[in-house]
Amino acid sequence: MSVVPKAGMSTKDTAMKKGVAARQLSAAEKDIPRAPRRKAASRVAPTLEVEASLFDAGADVVIGFDEVGRGALAGPVMVGAAAIRRHHLEKFPEGLADSKMLTEKRREAMFDPLQQWVDAWAVGAASNKEIDAWGISHALGVAALRALSTVETALAPIHSGSLYGILDGPNDYISKNVASFDAPPLAAVPVMTTQVKADQTCASVSAASVLAKVTRDRIMEKLGQKPEYAAYGWVRNKGYGSQQHRMAIEAQGPCELHRLSWHLVRNNRAVMSSRGFIPCVRSQRWYC
């Protein structure tokens, strides 16, 4: 609502009328329904309730699994595995949470205490070339199985039926890939449970999340310090798609550590062919 001053109307009269109009508009706005304000997201503290239920179901060892690097443009995808036995159900390191909810400084501070808390841990990796050749889901499965194989070796002997696992998310890419040609040998196949947001609610998965995140970040930072990779900014972006990273790819092209199957450049087909990849027309995938 606007007030148009009439001839002979003083500045004071105009201001008074504007004030009345503003109050009328304010009163009218009160009748307009408004969307409720979103509450600030609060950090969920993980517990050991799911792990305890699996021990009650017959587990001797429970392993939490979580991935890191799925959405990165360069570097490996990695899956952390953190194994605990029943005697670790009483407590876990204070301040533990999903790695995405912790600062880099806090993750680094938790790295050593988490290693002391778990009975065994490992981080398995699948390289960028394996991601290009297999696809991300299969690469995640193989990375998880590599971590699992290392954990089983550390905890040997492991008996079939006594090993249970918790995987963050709805998709069990671990069991799906146990029998694949690329999977490492296992002493026992875990009974898997999937749970959305397990990295926030299950302490063993939170531990795997932090261990995997710190491990991968350190690898990418070390790579980013090399002159040939410095332009991509991996010290800061850890291989994810920051503006600096994308601009560097546009300016000088992808390097041998980039995931070429993710169509990072316009002439992607020519780049992949030059790196030794062969396209399969039937499956729409690349093979090296």
What is the structure's pLDDT at 13? 53
Q: Are residues 195 and 239 in the same domain?
A: no
What is the structure's pLDDT at 286? 44
Q: Are residues 122 and 205 in the same domain?
A: yes
Rounded to the nearest integer, the mean pLDDT of the chain is: 84
Q: Are residues 74 and 161 in the same domain?
A: yes
pLDDT digits (tens, 9 = 90+) for 32-46: 444 445 444 456 789
Structural domain for 267, as ranges: 223-287
- Of 187, 203, 219, the domain-final residue: 219
User: In which element (H, E) is residue 62 found?
Assistant: strand 61-68
Q: Does residue 8 lie within any of the structural domains?
A: no
- Residue 167 pairs in a beta bridge with 65, 194
pLDDT digits (tens, 9 = 90+) for 182-238: 999 999 999 999 999 999 999 999 999 999 999 999 999 999 999 999 999 999 999
Q: Does residue 27 lie within any of the structural domains?
A: no
What total of structural domains would you count in the chain? Answer: 2
Q: What token pair was written down for 121?
A: 């841990």
pLDDT digits (tens, 9 = 90+) for 70-126: 999 999 999 999 999 999 898 899 999 999 999 999 999 999 999 999 999 999 999
Write the CATH number for 187. Answer: 3.30.420.10
Question: What's the distance, CA 246 to chain centroid?
Answer: 20
Is-above-0.75 flag for pTM? yes
Strand, coil or helix: what is 14? helix
Asked if residue 279 has pLDDT above 70, the reply is no
Q: How far apart are CA 132 and CA 197, in angstroms?
A: 27
Q: Does residue 156 lie within any of the structural domains?
A: yes
Sequence-distant (≥ 6) Cβ neighbours of residue 70 within 8 angstroms: 77, 136, 140
